[in-house]
Each structure stands twice: as structure tokens, then as C-alpha cells.
Amino acid sequence: MPRLKLMLPEGADFTTRLDVRVTDLNYGNHLANQALLGMLHEARLRFLTHLNHTELGNTTQPGIILADVEIQFRREAFLGDQLNITLFVDQLSHIGFDLYYRVSHAIDQTEIALAKTSIVFFDYHTTRKRAPAPASFEHALKELKEKNEKIREQ
């Protein structure tokens, strides 16, 4: 059976740290798949907040909605493990973008999982339909990428 193979872009736009909680464990006593999806959601929310945007948007700015998700599990994570979740935006278009995630142990950088979500801008407040990417999001993302590039060059 062919396995999913995610190819993550180089670099990082944002990194956050989350702890594996007891409620994140499954019957195998390791990080559960639905809990990992929740952690990706939390990391995405922190990333959007960093860019001064929200998932739900408001009356003047669209939010986002997930179109699909892919997750490739690499290793187990256990109760108390601190995980770094690194995000990278790719394929920004007039209606959405792909968001890649690398989940790794904070201590030794061992990869736990790779993931990708396809995100579409969405108007939750009036039309409840797909919406164009807000210029403010594109501007904030461009500034973030330029800042991160300068840091990598140092």
C-alpha cells in the first residue's frame, strides 16, 4: 500500500510550543491522531494571531476554513513531551493557501509528524461563501517572510 509522502518547503514562518497533555493520549498511551489535529489547530490559531488575523474574521475581513488536511505520522509522542510546531505558508493565491506543519520534540528535534492543510478564505458574517484573500493578510505574511529571511541570512 503506498504511503503518503509530504514534502515540506524549506524554512519556517512561525514556531510555537505545545505540551502533550493526558487528554491528548489514546489507548496506546501515546499522542492520539485527533489530538494532533487539535494541536495543529492551536498552532494555526497562534500563527493567525501573530499576523493579526482570526479564523472567523469579522464584517470587514474574511476568516478561513479548511478544505483538506494531510498528516504523516513519523514517531510517537508521550505525556509531558514538549513539541515544537513549525508552520510554513506556501501557494498563497487570491482565495487561499497551503499551510505546512512540522511537529518535532523540543529537546532533540526528532520529527513526530508532518502535515499540510489547504485553507480557503471564507466570509462567515454575510455571504457564508469563499472570499478573496484580504490585502492585510498578504501584507502581514510578506513582512513576516522578509523578517525571517533576514534572520536566516545572519
Tell me the average pLDDT of the chain: 94
Span 109-116, mean pLDDT? 97
Quote the pLDDT of residue 8.
86
Residue 37 sits at φ, ψ, to 5 deg, of -60, -40
Return the C-alpha torsion angle 127, 129, 133, 136, nearest 10: 40
pLDDT band at 7 (very low <50, low <70, confident <90, very high): confident
Residue 1 has pLDDT above 80, yes or no: no
Span 38-59, mean pLDDT? 96
The CATH code for residues 14-153 is 3.10.129.10
**Number of Cα atoms under 13 Å in the Cβ half of residue 145:** 12
Q: Which of 28-32, 53-57, 147-151 has the lowest mean pLDDT?
A: 147-151
Residue 71 identity: I
Q: Give the separation between CA 125 and CA 72, rounded to whole angstroms.
A: 34
Q: Give the separation between CA 8 and CA 87, rounded to whole angstroms.
A: 10
Residue 94 sits at φ, ψ, to 5 deg, of -75, -10
Quote the pLDDT of residue 151.
81
Helix (H, G, I), strand (E, B) or coil at 70: strand
Percent of the chain with pLDDT over 70: 100
pLDDT band at 88 (very low <50, low <70, confident <90, very high): very high
Residue 150 has pLDDT above 90, yes or no: no
Percent of the chain with pLDDT over 90: 84
Q: Give the separation between CA 108 and CA 19, rounded to whole angstroms.
A: 15
